[in-house]
Amino acid sequence: MPTFDFKRYHLRSIHASDAEERAAINQELKVLYETLSAEEKVVFNEELQHFLIHEMGRLKTDYEAIKGGM
């Protein structure tokens, strides 16, 4: 089963020079998704959900740390 590197796409998007570049990165993910088999799409979706939950938790922790320091 494949493992998808969502962090790589996320970092590229963060450092994109403009909205057009971010849109191109998102399009890459869409094209990748369309090339996957049904089984791989299940793994992709599960890994994406895990990545998003992990990142949201990290951002919440960072926000709370900053907010607490004010």
- Convert the pLDDT of each residue in 11-61 to its tens digit: 999 999 999 999 999 999 999 999 999 999 999 999 999 999 988 887 777
The CA distance from 54 to 10, in Å, is 13
| Residue ranges covered by each domain of the chain | 6-68
pTM: 0.76
CB atoms under 10 Å from CB of 45, counted, come to 13
Question: Where is pLDDT greater, at 69 or 37?
Answer: 37
- 9-43 b/e (C-beta count within 10 Å ≥ 16 → b): beeeeeeeeeeeeeeebeeeeeeeeeeeeeeeeee
Contact between residue 25 and residue 12 where contact means Cβ atoms under 8 Å apart: yes
